[in-house]
Structure formats: C-alpha cells, structure tokens
Amino acid sequence: MIQRIAALNKFIVDIYGPARILADGVIPIDHVRGCPQYRIEMQGVSIPLDVPVGICGTDLVRVSDGFRVLEDNLRVPSGVSYMIANRQATKTNFRELYRRYRVRDVEKYGTLLYETLREFDPNGSADPCIVLLTPGVFNSAFYEHMFLADEIGAELVEGRDLLVNDGFVYMRTTSGLRKVDVIYRRIDDDFLDPLFYREDSILGVPGLMHAYRKGNVALVNAPGTGIADDKSIYVYVPDMIRYYLSEDPILQNVETYLCREHEDLEYTLDNLEQLVVKPVGGSGGYGLFIGADKTAAERDEFSKQLREDPENYIAQPILAISRAPCWIERNIEPRCVDLRPFILTGKESRLVGGAFCRIALPRGSLVVNSSQGGGAKDLWVVKN
Amino acid sequence: MLARSAHGLYWIGRYLKRVEHTSRLMELQMNALVDCTWDQIHFGWLRLFRHLKTAPHNEELVNWEEHGDSWGLTDSFALADELSFVMENESSILSCFTMGRENARQMRHCISSEMWICLNKAYFEIRDLSIEDIWTKDSMQFYANRVQDVNTFMGVCAATLYRDERWEFLQIGRLIEHAQLMLALMSFQNKSTDSVEFEDLEHYDWWSLLHCFQADEAYQHYFGAKIQPELVMNMLVADQLLPNSIDFSLNQIADRLSALGEAPANRHGAMANRFIGRLIALIRFEWPDAENKTRMLTLAESLALKLHEHITAAWFNYEVDDSVRF
C-alpha cells in the first residue's frame, strides 16, 4: 500500500505539473484532462511536501489467490473512527478473548494523524494551528469529524468559522482571529471555496484557494486528488507504479474493462451477466449494476445506456470475495467483507495495524458500503 | 477557543436554565391546580406566559387571557401542554431541552463525555412523552424531575468540565438567563400586586415563590414565618447571599466576565463590563430606596438584554475589523 500511495502521489504532482506521464504516452491525455475530477485550478500549484494525498483509505478485498485493490479513496476517505470504536467495543465486551491474543493497536491512529498533519505546516513550526473543516452537524460523517478533531486536539471548524485576509486563513476565536496553518478538510472540492468552485457553496471559505495557492495554508488532502481515484484512472495505477518507481506492483488491481475502449465495451456488453458495471465518478456503492442480479430485460435496458455513454462506465468481474462469520439475528452466518486500511503520508508513510472492516449485511450481497446498509467488524492484526 | 463553540456553550447554559426555571414554576402551578381558586390558577398561568414572553399556539386558546365563567381545567391542560411539550413554543420545556441538546451535540468535543451522557439520557426520557402521559398521574413529579435533570447536569459540569473559557461561557449563559427571567418574573409579580385586576390576590403565593426558588428556609430563619411581600421581593431581587437572587447572579456574571479578560471586540467587551456594573449598582444601591420598583425592574430588564447583546458582539459575532489577531 505504501508503494501504491507513493506512485499515486507522484502521479498527482506530475499531472498538475509537467505532466510527463501524459507526454510519454503512459496514460492517454484525454483520459486525464477530460476527467471531471481533473481540477485545472491546481495546475502549477506547489503542493506542500509534494504530497497531495496525506490520508488515503484503500479498499482491499481478498480473493482465492490473495488481496486485490478494489479502489483508492484519495479525496476525503471516511470510516477510521469506526475502526477505533469497533476496537473499543471489542475490548469492552470480549476482554478475555482479546487478552489472549497479541493484537496490534489501532488506537494510536490519532497520534499518527497529528504527526502527519503537523508535517504539512507551511511554516514548519513546532506547534502549528491545525483545524478540521467539517460540513457541519448534518453531515453523515459528523461523528467521525468530531471524534478525529478530539483525537488530534484540533478545533472542529465549519466554513463560517474561517475567513481569509491578506492571503492568510484565520479562525474566529474568543481571543480574536487566530492564523490557521493546516486544514484537514472533510468537505469535497466542489464546496471548498465558492470563488473557485461552486459559487452556491455555503460550506466553504471564500478565498481559501487563494491562500492555498500562495502557500500560506496547507490543505490535506489537496484539492484535485480525485483525479487519481477516478475509476477510469484506476486501471492505470500498475503502470504508474512501474513508471514512477520502476518497480512491479506488489498489490494487484481487479481486472477492469474501460467501456470507453471499443473492445472492452463489446466484451462488457457480451458478458454483462458476469460483470459489475460502475460509473467512473461514483462512490458509496451508488449506481452499481451487478449483472447477475438483474433480469434479461434489465440487462438489455442497461446495455442501451452503456452504448449511449460508454465513457462514464467501467466493468469488473464479479469477484468471489472472502467471507467472515457474522452474528446475524442470533445465528452465525457468512457475509462478504472488505478492508479499508488507512495510510497516512507526510514526510513518510505511516499505518496502524488494522483497518476499517466492512461487511455486506444482506445475505448474498456484495455491497459493503455503509450508505447501502453495510455493517462493520473489528479486524485484528495479530503480532507474530 | 472557537467563537462558535463558545456561543454554543453559552446557549446550552441559557436553554437549560430556562428548562429549570419553567419547570420550577410549572411544578408550582400543578400544585395550585389541586386546591387553589380559579382566580389564583388563572393568575399563575398569566404570570408564566407573560414573564416568559410567550403565547399559546393552540388556536382554541386565543382568548384564554379573558378570564370568564367558562374558564376551566381544560384550559389548564392545554396551557400546561403549551409550556411543556409544544415544540413550536420556543419556551416550552421540551423545545428548550431539544435546543440545549442540539447545541451540545454540535459542541460535543467541547464538553465532557459524562455531560453529554447526562444530557442525552435526560432528553430521551422526555422526548416521546406528551401531556396526556403526565397529566393525571405524576405531573408535579415530572416537573420536579426536570429540575433535577438540570441540576444533575450542572453538577456533572462542575465535576468534569475543565475550568477554562468553556466553563465561563456556559456559566455566563446560565446566569444571564436566570437574571433575565427573574427580572421579568419579579416585574410581573410587582405589577400584579399593585393592579386592580388582581387586588383579591394580594399576597398571593409569595410564599410559594420563595419555596420555588429555594429561599423559604432562609426567609424563615431571618424574618420568621410571617410573609411580608416587600421582604420577599427584596430577598429574591437583592439578597447577596441567596444563590437564586438577581443580585447574586449579576455578581457571578461580573466575576465570569472578569475571568475572561479582554474580548476580541474590545469596545463591546468594555460595554458588557459597563452594563454589568450598572446593573449591579442599580440593584444594590438604587433598589432599596426606589419608590417605583416596577420601573426599576423594567429598566434592569432592558439593561440585561443589552448586556447579552454586547457579550454576543464582543466574543461570538464580532466584526473582523474590530478584532485582535494572533
């Protein structure tokens, strides 16, 4: 995972800079520049530490011959608080069992996150002012925002608490305006700054991008990182690893068909029953088309949709992903699981010995996303 | 600390004080329903609604203030509902509890876990109740329990909240709400004592008011069993040793403001200090000899409102140009 995030970070810095990977023809230029996640405003911006992705949550699944990367979440990955909350619940309720194993600690995540964020301080001070920018109490991840702010000792701010003056970002405190050095932002690019992105955004801070471009404040993750976790770019990650690191990928991707390519589209249409089709810019399990679960008429209907807009889709085989025993309605039953380890990258990459483990609650379901009714388990990584 | 967080804590203090205050008076009113005359009951409702500066939302209660022959228990049932469970009424106990909890939910990182658990537990106990659930069985106990909920919460605050600005703002909110509500209550009570409308009610429930604000024992100890309205009024307004008196709250506010030190909007901070000084001087030095007590209470009410406005402008919603930078 460290290898993968290193390549992804280099890719983002490259495409918003000299774009060598495009010039060398490793990735077709239109796949990048035509992607809705490509942010032209980031072109030429100096990114602190050359690390646009400080916090990454990579989704892994286990199949018959090892682990596969399902997707990289490089914008505002969530779920880490549940990893810690699950662990606390396990420690409280299964004390004896827990004590018998040498389980790696996940609760130091807050310390690692603080260390990582501190490294992004543009002034390199010993005690930078770090804030966590949340959309507010109505966001479904607000609990996590609050939890993390508490863990790292940062103020939990909303857009209205911040203002930009003379190219610097300040927050309103009871002692006056305090200069902010690092913003761990948990709002999407589109809402960050109404002067740059969506002008109807009331969640962001007018002028924030101006301060960021001047290098007066660090945003973690940087705007525009979505270009590297777009599903149509995912297919090129192994090539990025070879290109930037001159190494072979250690973790493999899931076989992926780009519907924008004629051959891949034809293959997808011919084998729809064995494939999962995903919209390239989607997340949270929305818009998935699982061929095996659909009727012939539904597949025909979807085929028309695919032909009309092939660039918007990728297809992957339906994987036999690993299952774990779960306590469901007073019975032990198997359910599909995936893992989301969190990789923190500042001057170096850091991981905790654990992951957010998601389960697909309905019997036979492959969709683990929390927004689609997924559940969670505590995952133990046991020391040798 | 973040100005918005401080503002949230300030309003937690205010909302919960209002819950406590209204619950105390509602308990008193439920007691009155047992053996008081309709006139006395009607007076109790008028006092509650007018000093809380609210009116019933129930259309059938539009003319409830016109106390006639048809006035009866049904009205009390609806009026109690209004001040207890009607969410549209911003002064109802449930509404204030909900708002206090909502502020706490947004400020959870600023309060201790035990405070949150305590508040949440109390909220869930009343969230799904209605006036029908409490009316015939244990209405007095219901209100007594709400007072206890708030007292427990404040006790948990005292035991677990770090004594920095968080504590100060929570306390300032609580104390300002208390001062404003008590000023409004005393003002109404004083006006009513002089009013022809309530001439039959002279001396009515001064004793229960003392009891309501935990001043009955101190009164008996110092003044004996005979109720003298002027002494009761003086005690609730200007007694420096009674924790529920207006004077006591004002002095506490002054101490808290002084602990906070300079405000980011210095001009408003200085004004807040001036207003609290003026209020204390008014109650401590002018009140004892004032001929028109009602006018003095009305003046104090308006000063307390301005104090709130200056605190808000000084620490929470200050203008950027006014503020200190660091």
Enumerate the residues of chain A whose CB falls inside 8 A of the CB of residue B264.
Answer: 172-177
Residues above pLDDT 90, as percent of chain A:
79
Which of A220, A237, A265 is at the close of a domain? A220
Q: Is the pLDDT of residue B62 over 80?
A: no
Q: Provide the number of structural domains found in chain B.
A: 1
Instruction: For residue A153, give its domain range.
Output: 108-220
Nearest chain B residue to A179 by CA: give it: B326
- Cβ of A363: how many Cβ atoms within 10 Å? 9
Question: Is the residue at A102 inside a domain?
Answer: no
pLDDT in tens, B10-59: 999 999 999 999 999 999 999 988 888 888 888 889 899 999 999 888 77
Q: Look up the CATH number of the domain holding residue A313.
A: 3.30.1490.270
CA distance A173 to chain B (A): 4
Q: What angle do CA B163, B168, B170 make, to 5 degrees?
A: 110
Question: Is the residue at A274 inside a domain?
Answer: yes
Amino acid type, B2: L
Question: Is the residue at A381 inside a domain?
Answer: no
Query: Could you tell me if A122 and A211 lie in one domain?
Result: yes
Which of A269, A288, A317 is at the close of a domain? A317
What is the C-alpha separation between B280 and B247, in angstroms, rounded?
7
Which of A302, A317, A332 is at the close of a domain? A317
Query: Could you tell me if A114 and A213 lie in one domain?
Result: yes
Is this prediction's ipTM beyond 0.85? yes
Q: Provide the number of structural domains found in chain A.
A: 2
Q: Identify the band that residue B204 occupies on the pLDDT scale cut at 50, 70 and 90.
A: low
- What residues of A are in the B interface, CB distance below 8 Å? 136-137, 146, 149-150, 155-158, 160-161, 163, 165, 170-179
CA B195 to chain centre: 24
Over residues A223-247, mean pLDDT:
95
Q: Look up the CATH number of the domain holding residue A202.
A: 3.40.50.11290
Query: Could you tell me if A210 and A115 lie in one domain?
Result: yes
Q: Is the pLDDT of residue B203 over 60?
A: no
CA distance B14 to chain A (A): 18
Question: Is the residue at A351 inside a domain?
Answer: no
Nearest chain B residue to A131 by CA: give it: B2
> Across the interface, do B165 and A179 touch by the CB < 8 Å criterion?
no
DSSP per position, A337-348:
EEEE-EEEESSS
Q: What are phi and psi of A289, to 5 degrees?
A: -120, 105
Over residues A204-231, mean pLDDT:
95
Instruction: For residue B225, give its domain range.
Output: 3-322
CA distance B316 to chain A (A): 7
> What global pTM score does this model have?
0.89
Question: Is the residue at A40 inside a domain?
Answer: no
Over residues B166-188, mean pLDDT:
96
What length is written for chain B? 326
In whole numbers, what is the pLDDT of chain A averaged over residues? 93
Q: Identify the band that residue A284 occupies on the pLDDT scale cut at 50, 70 and 90.
A: low
Query: Could you tell me if A113 and A216 lie in one domain?
Result: yes
Over residues A53-73, mean pLDDT:
94
Question: Is the residue at A181 inside a domain?
Answer: yes
Closest CB to A175: pick one of B106, B264, B320.
B264
Question: Is the residue at A204 inside a domain?
Answer: yes
Count of CA atoms in the C-beta half-sphere (13 A) of B94: 19
What is the C-alpha separation between B223 and B71, in angstroms, rounded?
38
Residues above pLDDT 70, as percent of chain B:
92
Question: Is the residue at A270 inside a domain?
Answer: yes
What is the C-alpha separation between A129 and A121, in angstroms, rounded?
8
Count of CA atoms in the C-beta half-sphere (13 A) of A229: 25
Query: Could you tell me if A275 and A188 lie in one domain?
Result: no
- Cβ of A101: how many Cβ atoms within 10 Å? 10
Over residues A206-210, mean pLDDT:
95
